[in-house]
Amino acid sequence: MTSQTWFITGASRGIGLELARAALAAGHRVAATSRRHADIVAALGTHEGLLALDLDVTDSSQIAAAVAATQARFGGIDVLVNNAGYGYLGLFEESTEDDVRAQFETNVFGLFAVTRAVLPVMRAQRRGHVFNVSSVGGISGAASGSLYCSTKFAVEGFSISLADEVKGFGIHVTIVGPGYIRTDFLDARSVRFATTSVDDYAALSAELRGFFEDRSHQQAGDPVRLAEAFLQLAAEKAPPLRFSAGSDALEILDTRLASLKQERDAYADLSRSVDGSWA
């Protein structure tokens, strides 16, 4: 396998940390970033191929500095993994405007900003691979996911469009849509729940919160195996535009596809009736 330079956001724990560890073990160079680079060093130690950097994806000056430092150290960036993000789980009417903006600032606008900073490097090289970490929530919504899922739907639409824009420069884009992966995504360090309440939603809100808390650190997906899948995808000459990670992700995808097909067929005649002829 050819050695590559990886730039990974959200690399201090969870999927990002396991991916950084796996990439280093495979002989790649890794610029691993998080809000506190000391957490990365504490987890991975020092390594000739590791560059640990402070990076808040909502801070444009930190993004520019991290990309510049990676170029100075490694000479380029072959693989970008937009992994930084968090889950806001709460019913829409129990969410505030600040909740909405904060979720989009990190999960969408932060991802946009990092991608915008790295693409010129990849274009100059005429090669690169952008991985945007989405979720099963990027193809199917559910109660409590109105904010989180909407950010992931945005990431998927962005990624599909971006892939068409940069393919002429030898740059690939792959959406990775994990199912429930056994990380701290659902514990207090990561997930955020709605802090306001509406009486009509009280029972549903409590049920959903209990559902997620019961599954924290009990998820079936293995982050180590997911990291191995990233490495395999990055080695592909023709990588997929979208990769669903986990059997649960496949089941959710299949259910969504079947639902779309059922509704498509049921209303096909009405759909065609919208067509008109030019006068």
Catalytic residues: 134, 148, 152
Distance CA 6, CA 149 (A): 27
